[in-house]
Amino acid sequence: MIRRRLVLVVLALLLLPSAAALARSAVVPPTEAELRATVEALTGPGMDGRRSGTAGGDLAAERIAEWLKAAGLRPGGERGSFFQSFVVTTATRTAAGTALAANGRMLDEGRDWTPHGGSRQDHVSGEIVFVGYGVSAPDAGYDDWAGVDARDRVALALDGVPPHLSGVKTSRLEKLIAARRAGARALLLVSDTLPSLGATGAAVSIVSATVTPAAADALLAPAGTTLARVAEPLARRGAPASVVVPGARADLRVALEVADRNAVNVIGILPGADPTLADEALVVGAHYDHLGLSGGAVYPGADDNASGTAVVVGLARAFAAAGPGERTLVFALFGAEELGLMGSGRYVKAPAVPLSRTAAMLNFDMVGRLRDGTLAVSGVESGSRLRDVAGEAARAVGVKVRLRDSPYGASDHAPFYEAGAPVLFFHTGAHADYHQSSDTADKIDAAGVARVAALGARIVERLAGGKRPTYVAVPRPRRERAETSSVGARVFLGVGGASSESDGLRLAQVIAGSGAARAGLEAGDVLVRFGDRPLNGFEDLLAALEGRRPGDEVRVLYLRDGMDHETMATLGTRP
């Protein structure tokens, strides 16, 4: 009888809510008005598209930190702040010793010429060889480098392409690569406008600079000629007219210094109160950055991802107001997702609570267009309990959900899952305004965002207590689906671009198992050409993917450590 009473007492204690749960107030999810106001603030004046590493991105981070502090959360960043910093790009400046001499006369740096930010740092001198526009386009039957010996000489080339080759597209990087392959010691590009060091920051293993037409004339003067005279046969014949210019020499020295440019994650913590579960954490996250300014247009990113940021900030306020639960809650707003999951990757390397004690990660990305009242929740097979918890929460809140097994995808939950944490990914789907200047706050379905937030609150409550989900290794799909007819399905290379003012596309991330990974591309590589299109940013890659289909093989030219390489990449679709 005593044993039976003891068992009943133990069972009763197990069924009772914890002391932390009893002490808490009810969690009241964020309202439609609150969520709309947050989206409008993040897309308002000064934000300028919130690109990480810019003033607009910094302003957004500061505003989010103010909101988390006002909610009563504990700072979860570095040195007692809400910020966790990481490098998104480097800024370059010239160092002492940088000089260009024409026939012994020093040319004025910044007025007559400027080195390239990605130039090899070296001192070279040599005879000048004029190489027209420096274009190598064998498919068009044109090559300025053919028929002239550029080895050990300083090549001088005009900016742009020959007028009669209007259909040919090339880039500064391709000209540098052609010069290096031809054995030139350096390449000087002639332009009316001198670029910034940042705009020429992609490294090619050759000394390089831009000179004005007047500086080019000064370099050619000892040979008794001018730029116009050596270029005249090219213009007249409409064919390569490259020539060594005897007597004309250049003496060039490039020395550079670099400084890092940072972005931040914004992290707030609500400590748990249960003695046995407080050292475990549930991470609730979203990226707050977007594309910034491009071509004079602002890319406000209302859905991508002011909407997800609004949900996470709203949940942080709601749970802080209700009081501590059993597990610790980490509310993380990531920077530089658009540049290759850089912020979430940084968090995973230095988490506020160790990943070994992270019960799960919930990621809200583009949740502002609840079409047909349906929300996609992915990753339900990445951990035990997740399918049941998500399904029960959807029924309780009255939200129609599509539960997807796969935890894979190009958003901030991916680094967590790769590091061994179960994940859930909330997404209302792509649309025609994706990565466009038309992704504005007035198009947000604030009532739908409120329903997503209510669902998220229910799931957070369930996962913040009780048995911890067990991580499940879900096999990666053997082949990517070709959903080319569905709304928002996009052909997928599997890369993320780093923040950079420079030409080319520097890769911040290459997604495991993607076409890019199988082609041998790595983070840090600079994509120069994709098929027949030169790349000068992530937007160029997106444009180059238009019209492509899963399964297409595309030739890719890229730089690694200043050396050029070519590979073939097979495209898939976004997981």
Please report, to the nearest 10 degrees, the dihedral formed by the alpha carbons of residues 258, 260, 261, 266 taken in order: 180
The answer to whether the beta carbons of residues 390 and 424 sit under 8 Å apart is yes
The answer to whether the beta carbons of residues 306 and 384 sit under 8 Å apart is no
Q: Which pairing describes strands 423-427 and 374-378: parallel, antiparallel, or unpaired?
A: antiparallel
Q: Is 507 helix (H, G, I), strand (E, B) or coil?
A: strand
Question: Distances in Å between the alpha carbon of 553 and those of 237, 396, 506, 514, 571?
Answer: 37, 47, 21, 13, 6
CA-based nearest residue to 483, from 379, 539, 404: 404
- Cα–Cα distance for residue pair 458/465, rounded to 1 Å: 12
- Cα–Cα distance for residue pair 108/94, rounded to 1 Å: 13
The answer to whether the beta carbons of residues 14 and 289 sit under 8 Å apart is no
Q: Is 6 helix (H, G, I), strand (E, B) or coil?
A: helix
Q: Is 236 helix (H, G, I), strand (E, B) or coil?
A: helix
Q: Is 446 helix (H, G, I), strand (E, B) or coil?
A: helix
Tell me how long the chain is. Answer: 575
User: How confident is the chain (575 residues) per 10-residue block, as mean pLDDT?
Assistant: 45 44 78 98 97 95 98 97 92 92 92 97 97 94 95 97 88 97 98 93 96 98 96 93 96 93 96 97 98 88 98 98 97 93 95 98 97 92 97 96 93 96 96 94 97 98 96 76 35 74 84 90 94 88 88 96 96 75
- Cα–Cα distance for residue pair 102/100, rounded to 1 Å: 7
List, in order of start, the domains of the chain with CATH numbers: 18-90+260-463 (3.40.630.10), 97-254 (3.50.30.30), 491-573 (2.30.42.10)
DSSP assignment letter at 18: P
What is the crossing angle of helices 55-71 and 308-322, to 10°? 20
- pTM of structure: 0.71
43-72 burial, b at 16+ Cβ within 10 Å, e below that, comes to beeebbbbbbbbebbbbbbebbbebbeebe
Q: Is 528 helix (H, G, I), strand (E, B) or coil?
A: strand
Q: Which pairing describes strands 256-270 and 328-334: parallel, antiparallel, or unpaired?
A: antiparallel
Show the 3-state SS of 375-419: EEEECCCCECCHHHHHHHHHHHHCCEEEEECCCCCCCCHHHHHHC
Please name the residues in contact with 104: beta carbons below 8 A apart, sequence gap of 6 or more: none
- Cα–Cα distance for residue pair 42/64, rounded to 1 Å: 9
Our CA angle for 61, 450, 47, nearest 5°, is 25
DSSP assignment letter at 153: S
Q: What is the pLDDT of residue 499?
A: 54
Longest dimension (CA), the chain: 115
* N-terminal to C-terminal alpha carbon distance within the chain: 58
Number of C-beta neighbours around residue 501 at 10 A: 17
Please name the residues in contact with 521: beta carbons below 8 A apart, sequence gap of 6 or more: 495, 507, 510, 527, 556, 558, 567, 569
| Phi, psi values for residue 312, rounded to 5° | -65, -45
- Cα–Cα distance for residue pair 361/414, rounded to 1 Å: 10
The answer to whether the beta carbons of residues 197 and 224 sit under 8 Å apart is no
Q: What is the pLDDT of residue 116?
A: 97
- Cα–Cα distance for residue pair 326/41, rounded to 1 Å: 32
CA-based nearest residue to 282, from 326, 318, 327, 325: 327
Take residue 475 and report the two structure tokens written for it. Answer: 């096999």
Q: What is the pLDDT of residue 234?
A: 93
